[in-house]
């Protein structure tokens, strides 16, 4: 069997990979277990040195990798190049941060706290940032002394294949292995003898992983999507808030886990805010990855595109006003869309839309906005615009792992973390890196 990777801009084949046989998954994990015995005994500086050589080689191949990423996933070449270079250059800084995190600590009384590798980590990553999301999980796993069996999304296997091939020019055999396939291959990985699963993907898939991993109490790090709210208070800088709302909703064609999906604006400034959002959104252009000035690329596949259209139609049928966009979306794309007066019972209020849609509702009292913002099972990110003190006060009442004040959530060396059903465990930061290790108290 094969996976044919399609260019989402036109449906044409980009390339193909063979599907990993289910019986081979456990065998590959066994190879990883054997390799980990040697890899885990290496000094951390030796592991980082090998990875750094790999990152340099990735950087040398950046042009080819960025083009392949754009062809396979659809984002424009500027964003693809940024993702490739972020992995190549940022990976080195990430490795150094992991080294700091896993240093042994001496406590009073002669007790030492050590951070030891788990064994083999199964990494399952999504298609929307096929290198960045994988890199953010693979690097801390490897630097910590684990080996990795990596299953990329079946939507973007080619860029993952080339990335692993480059790194494996420098890594010992069995340290980083890749498998290909859909849900059945992912299930085989979860149910294998891996010690840990690091996953980024849908909430439904995450719940299934938890059930399957519970039998052997595998360690889990999971980011499970979001339906991020944005609250715009009446003392906001309207221009800044409007520009953020559009940029966050449209980035990566809206296919971003921390994309703003629900905007709640104080009715005192709603008219001005909505008009400015429409004006800004009109400036965005859809098109394939190599078209100049393109802001919004294709939706990854027809199933996801149909879902976005269904959410738009559902909101309009329930009373929302379509201010920009329409039903004449070209094949493979969704036009930049602005909806106002989105009702509380609309699907996009409770579900992740994952498309280039700005959905706006008005509120009279901030309590109403907070209630609606917190009214879903998601809790990844949230944003509040307003004066610093008021925005922070409201932000502390939002149930989300990351809350941005007058800007996007999550930044710098902070953890990437979700609340409620948007996550289990977290990665990034000193504390996040340590989740790729088994704590051992010695003394």
What are the pLDDT digits (tens) for 127-147? 999 999 999 999 999 999 999
Beta-carbon-side half-sphere exposure of residue 222 (alpha carbons within 13 Å): 24
Alpha-carbon distances, residue 236 vs 211, 231, 263, 398 (angstroms): 44, 10, 13, 18
What are the pLDDT digits (tens) for 284-320? 999 999 999 999 999 999 999 999 999 999 999 999 9
pTM: 0.97
What are the pLDDT digits (tens) for 196-240? 999 999 999 999 999 999 999 999 999 999 999 999 999 999 999
- What structural domains does the chain harbor? 2-224+420-442 (3.40.605.10), 228-411 (3.40.309.10)
Alpha-carbon distances, residue 338 vs 165, 260, 355 (angstroms): 42, 12, 11
Angle of helix 22-39 relative to helix 183-190, nearest 10 degrees? 40
Query: According to the model, what pLDDT value does residue 411 have?
Result: 74
223 is catalytic: yes
Q: What is the average per-residue pLDDT within 180-205?
A: 98
Query: According to the model, what pLDDT value does residue 341 have?
Result: 98
pLDDT at 326 over 90: no
Ramachandran angles phi, psi of 423, nearest 5°: -175, 160
d(CA 272, CA 294): 27
pLDDT at 170 over 80: yes
Query: According to the model, what pLDDT value does residue 46 have?
Result: 98
CB neighbours (10 Å) of residue 113? 14
Mean pLDDT of the chain: 97
116 is catalytic: no
Catalytic residue among 87, 154, 155, 257: 257
Q: What is the average per-residue pLDDT within 386-404?
A: 98
Least confident stretch, 75-79, 106-110, 114-118, 170-174: 106-110
Catalytic residue among 155, 223, 251, 274: 223
Maximum CA extent, the chain = 71
């Amino acid at each position: 069997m094969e996976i044919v990777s399609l260019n989402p801009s036109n449906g044409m084949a980009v390339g193909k990979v063979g599907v990993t046989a289910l019986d081979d998954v456990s065998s590959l994990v066994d190879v990883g277990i054997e390799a980990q015995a040697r890899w885990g005994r290496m000094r951390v500086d030796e592991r980082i040195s090998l990875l750094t050589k790999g990152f340099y080689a990735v950087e040398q191949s950046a042009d080819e990798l960025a083009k392949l990423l754009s062809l396979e996933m659809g984002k424009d070449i500027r964003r693809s190049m940024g993702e490739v270079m972020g992995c190549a250059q940022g990976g080195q800084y990430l490795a150094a941060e992991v080294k700091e995190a896993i240093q042994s600590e001496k406590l009073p009384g002669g007790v030492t706290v050590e951070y030891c590798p788990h064994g083999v980590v199964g990494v399952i990553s999504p298609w929307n940032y096929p290198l960045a999301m994988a890199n953010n999980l693979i690097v801390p796993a490897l630097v910590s002394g684990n080996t990795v069996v990596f299953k990329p999304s079946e939507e973007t296997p080619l860029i993952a294949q080339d990335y692993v091939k480059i790194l494996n020019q420098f890594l010992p055999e069995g340290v980083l292995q890749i498998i290909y396939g859909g849900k059945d291959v992912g299930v085989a990985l979860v149910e294998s003898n891996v010690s840990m699963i690091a996953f980024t993907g849908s909430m439904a898939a995450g719940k299934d992983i938890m059930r399957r991993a519970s039998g052997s109490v595998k360690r889990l790090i999971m980011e499970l999507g979001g339906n991020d709210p944005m609250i715009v208070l009446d003392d906001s800088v309207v221009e800044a808030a409007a520009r953020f709302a559009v940029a966050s909703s449209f980035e990566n064609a809206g296919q971003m886990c921390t994309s703003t999906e629900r905007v709640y604006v104080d009715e005192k400034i709603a008219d001005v805010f909505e008009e400015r959002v429409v004006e800004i959104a009109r400036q965005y252009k859809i098109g394939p990855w190599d078209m100049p000035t393109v802001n919004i690329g294709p939706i990854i596949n027809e199933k996801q595109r149909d879902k976005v259209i269904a959410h738009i139609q559902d909101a309009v049928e329930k009373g929302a006003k379509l201010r920009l966009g329409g039903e004449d979306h070209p094949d493979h794309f969704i036009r930049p869309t602005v909806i106002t007066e989105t009702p509380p019972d609309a699907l996009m209020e409770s579900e992740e839309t994952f498309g280039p849609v700005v959905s706006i509702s008005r509120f009279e009292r901030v309590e109403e906005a907070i209630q609606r913002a917190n009214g879903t099972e998601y809790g990844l990110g949230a944003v509040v615009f307003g004066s610093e003190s008021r925005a922070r006060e409201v932000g502390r009442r939002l149930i989300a792992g990351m809350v941005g004040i007058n800007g996007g959530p999550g930044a710098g060396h902070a953890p990437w973390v979700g609340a409620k059903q948007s996550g289990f465990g977290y990665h990034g930061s000193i504390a996040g890196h340590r989740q790729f290790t088994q704590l051992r108290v010695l003394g």
